[in-house]
């Protein structure tokens, strides 16, 4: 049973209950967050914290990091999906909450990592399957009112052995539509919608459709024509909402499968 509160720093507590086998902080995350891989006698966890409250080099202050961790916990409690690691507990500490997630195996798909090109070199059908699960997740998030923020390839892990996609680090997703208060928002320009570059622009479910279509454009080098048409529409004329994009993607996928079945009979 994990406690609701601890009275020691996060790292001290984690060293007491298990072995820290990985640390992600300075040099790997510029947000100021510090995360840990922790192994106990029975399982492994991924534990995310707000990091050092005195870190002045992070692009977010300590209170903002704490707020985003609480936002991530709200998202995890509101949506359950196989791509999302289970959130086992939120433990309060003198240095903010510890979000204790299930550990997920996989390689980071960020373009600076070897898995990026390896993933893009997979058979088209395998990439499509991964995208299908990503889009199914976002259908659930969309239905719960969540709008993306700072989603890009480094928000995903891929286990090449089990062909399983994991999506994580959704701290900047918003519950409901919102306005761009930054101008140039956080994220990778390869995945961002035009409104994520414009101060005051609305960020809503249309943005979700654009970002997901850009994900396909980046990760699926040679999409079948039917899917390519959906990607083009999502990033030019634009779909009115995410559900319209998702339905169009499912329809195009069905067309591909029907055509394949007809050719084999």
Domain ranges within the chain, ordered by starting residue? 10-102, 107-258
23, 48 in Cβ contact below 8 A?
A: no
Homologous superfamily of 107-258: Transferase(Phosphotransferase) domain 1 (1.10.510.10)
Cα(166)–Cα(168) distance, integer angstroms: 7
Asked if pLDDT for residue 26 goes beyond 70, the answer is: no
Tell me what the pLDDT averaged over the chain comes to: 95
Asked if pLDDT for residue 29 goes beyond 70, the answer is: no
pTM for this predicted structure: 0.94
Asked if pLDDT for residue 99 goes beyond 90, the answer is: yes
DSSP secondary structure code for residue 191 in this structure: T
Please report how the helices 242-264 and 205-219 are oriented relative to each other, as an axis angle in degrees rounded to 10: 40
The predicted structure's pLDDT at residue 229 = 98
Which range (49-58, 81-90, 179-188, 216-225) has the least confidence? 49-58
Please report how the helices 242-264 and 124-143 are oriented relative to each other, as an axis angle in degrees rounded to 10: 150
Asked if pLDDT for residue 261 goes beyond 90, the answer is: no
Cα(83)–Cα(165) distance, integer angstroms: 6
* Termini Cα distance of the chain: 56
Asked if pLDDT for residue 27 goes beyond 90, the answer is: no
DSSP secondary structure code for residue 198 in this structure: S
Q: How confident is the model at residue 202 (pLDDT cuts 50, 70, 90)?
A: very high
169, 187 in Cβ contact below 8 A?
A: no
The predicted structure's pLDDT at residue 28 = 62
Q: How confident is the model at residue 265 (pLDDT cuts 50, 70, 90)?
A: low
What integer is the mean pLDDT of 19-34? 84
- Phi, psi dihedrals of residue 214, rounded to the nearest 5°: -65, -35
Q: Is the dihedral of CA 28, 34, 38, 44 positive or negative?
A: negative
Fold of 10-102: Phosphorylase Kinase; domain 1 (3.30.200)
């Amino acid at each position: 049973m994990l406690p609701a509160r601890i009275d020691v720093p996060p790292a001290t507590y984690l060293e007491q209950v298990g072995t820290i086998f990985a640390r992600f902080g300075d040099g790997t995350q510029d947000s100021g967050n510090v995360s840990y891989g922790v192994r106990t006698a029975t399982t492994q966890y991924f534990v995310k914290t707000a990091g050092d409250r005195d870190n002045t080099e992070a692009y977010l202050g300590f209170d903002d990091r704490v707020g985003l961790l609480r936002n991530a916990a709200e998202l995890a409690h509101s949506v359950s999906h196989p791509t999302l690691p289970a959130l086992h507990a939120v433990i309060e500490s003198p240095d903010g909450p510890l979000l204790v997630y299930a550990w997920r195996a996989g390689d980071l798909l960020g373009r600076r990592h070897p898995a990026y090109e390896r993933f893009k070199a997979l058979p088209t059908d395998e990439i499509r399957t991964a995208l299908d699960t990503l889009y199914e997740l976002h259908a659930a998030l969309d239905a719960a009112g969540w709008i993306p923020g700072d989603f890009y390839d480094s928000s995903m892990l891929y286990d090449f052995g089990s062909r399983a996609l994991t999506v994580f680090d959704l701290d900047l997703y918003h519950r409901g539509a919102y306005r761009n208060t930054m101008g140039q928002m956080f994220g990778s320009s390869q995945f961002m919608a035009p409104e994520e570059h414009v101060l005051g622009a609305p960020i809503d479910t249309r943005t979700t459709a654009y970002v997901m279509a850009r994900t396909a454009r980046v990760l699926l080098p040679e999409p079948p024509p039917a899917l390519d048409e959906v990607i083009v529409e999502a990033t030019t004329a634009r779909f009115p909402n995410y559900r319209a994009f998702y339905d169009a993607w499912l329809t195009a996928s069905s067309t591909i499968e029907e055509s394949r079945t007809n050719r084999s009979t």
